[in-house]
Amino acid sequence: MKPEIDAKVEENDNPLPVGDVIGDTAYSERFVLKILIKLANLDTLKNEIKEKSFEEDLCMLWDMTAERDVVLFLQKHDSLNLINFALPMMDSPRLIEIMIGIVGNMCCQKEVVSSILKMDGFLIQLLEHSKCDDSLTLVQLLRLINSCLFLSNDSDIPILMTVFESVGYSPTLYFILKNSSHKDLLVTALENMNAICSSCNTERHSSKFLMQFLRSEALDSLSAAITEITTNLKDSFRTDEIERSLIISLQISLHLLGFDSSAEIYENSKDDVIVMMRQILDYYEEKLVIQKEIEPDLIDIIESISTIINILNLNNICDLTKYFDHSYKMWKAVNMIMKSDKDGATNFEQDDKVELLDFTSKIKAPLCTLMCNYMATCSDENLLKCLDVIGQDYDDIITSLDKEKLHDEVNKRTEKYRTRLKENIDS
């Protein structure tokens, strides 16, 4: 990672000559120009890169490129072209990481993104490094790509898609998601895939997105990444980082499943998707039922999970433990909140009653939809288990549905079983 180096010149020690500062910063033009001259002289560069001082100077420049004025100064002196020719000379992962990190920082400025998109050869050279095995280099490269995606005009997206295709980017990205155990790399790769979906899976570019990124291994890789984050790496993540990753995984899944051919392409990924949905529900069930915390995003999360399950027809291959039990436990917790509010007492941290009641009123229908979709299409054996689990709560669940067709379908399917259960109870 980039070291914490103070590249600024102290005001009282070695003051800069008049005219040597870059813009409104305290950084030296002369220092930057010396580095650029070294990068430009390829004959001597092969010796320069062996010196520790050269790496330290590059690190200092990397730190400096967080400043817009420094980036514009570099642009003025054609630094992208210099880096383009110098990068192949770099013979260590550390130097490559630093160089790509510098370009990545520069690409936080729209002017630089506009310039680099005109340099197809340079972009291809950069993205070829996506096949390296150095996690720190990959993090910087994915950051660079993310910035290009966010700051590109829509008319420039085909340029990036062509570069992606040239280097075989999608299988490489899916390989990273499936196999990495590096926290920062996994998070950045998820953000990268999410940025690709948002920028490239649009009406104008969806056909190219489909051809490149709708690959059979996509959902398997996504599930593997979420498993790594929520199990092996869980203790190294902050709560907001885990939740961001879970939400991103759902957003990516919805993009990948939004095509007519999606269900067929991902027919063999159903088990992995079930694992991912269960992990997400495990997390939010614990947050709501055990930790007693209200999560406003849970409404959209449950609706997204329902959509994914329906597209892939997962209900008929799942037992109750995969997600029905989670839904029912959360539904019961919501009922408890509403009852506690009526009684004038609640153990939940949410003190704002208006927001609390708004959440409970909105979350019940999605939870009931998730449960009822399962009861409508699961096996007969699992349906009996469902009815046994929910017991007298069935009527409350079915009446909370906001979908009339599903309401009638579930009632019709469960009628004979509920009658039989009632007779057994009465006897």
**What would the pLDDT profile of 93-106 be if each residue is shown by its tens digit?**
999 999 999 999 99
What is the reported pLDDT for 354?
75
- The answer to whether the CB of 163 falls within 8 A of the CB of 124 is yes
pLDDT band at 421 (very low <50, low <70, confident <90, very high): low
**What would the pLDDT profile of 305-360 be if each residue is shown by its tens digit?**
999 999 999 999 999 999 999 999 999 999 888 777 665 556 555 556 777 888 88
- Residue 159 has, within 13 A of its CA and on its CB side, a CA count of 20
What is the reported pLDDT for 355?
79
What is the reported pLDDT for 14?
56
What is the reported pLDDT for 343?
58
> Residue 339, Cα to own-chain centre: how many angstroms?
36
Q: Which of 251, 373, 359, 346 is nearest to 298 (CA)?
A: 359
> Residue 426, Cα to own-chain centre: how many angstroms?
52
**What would the pLDDT profile of 135-184 be if each residue is shown by its tens digit?**
999 999 999 999 999 999 999 999 999 999 999 999 999 999 999 999 99
Structure-model confidence comparison of residues 228 and 350, the more confident one = 228
The C-alpha R_g of the chain, in whole angstroms, comes to 27
What is the reported pLDDT for 349?
56
pLDDT band at 198 (very low <50, low <70, confident <90, very high): very high
What is the reported pLDDT for 18?
52
Angle at 195 between CA 147 and CA 70, to 5 degrees: 5
What is the reported pLDDT for 166?
98
Return d(Cα 368, Cα 398) in angstroms, integer. 7
Return d(Cα 52, Cα 46) in angstroms, integer. 13
> Residue 100, Cα to own-chain centre: how many angstroms?
22
**Helix (H/G/I), strand (E/B), else coil: 19:** coil
Return d(Cα 36, Cα 54) in angstroms, integer. 11
Tally of residues, the chain: 427
Q: Which residues pair with 21 in a beta bridge?
A: 28
Return d(Cα 41, Cα 46) in angstroms, integer. 9
| pTM score of the predicted model | 0.90
Q: Residue with structure tokens 């007693």?
A: 292
- The answer to whether the CB of 320 falls within 8 A of the CB of 386 is yes
Among 142-156, 218-232, 270-284, 287-301, the range scoring the smallest mean pLDDT is 287-301
Q: Which residues pair with 183 in a beta bridge?
A: none
Q: Which residues pair with 28 in a beta bridge?
A: 21
- Residue 319 has, within 13 A of its CA and on its CB side, a CA count of 3
Token duo for residue 129: 């490094």
**Which residues, at least 6 apart from 249, have a Cβ–Cβ distance to it below 8 Å?**
190, 222, 225, 226, 276, 280
What is the reported pLDDT for 13?
52
> What angle do the packed helices 270-285 and 239-256 form, to 10 degrees?
150
- Residue 203 has, within 13 A of its CA and on its CB side, a CA count of 0
Amino acid identity at 185: L
**Which residues, at least 6 apart from 315, have a Cβ–Cβ distance to it below 8 Å?**
309, 373, 374, 376, 377, 378
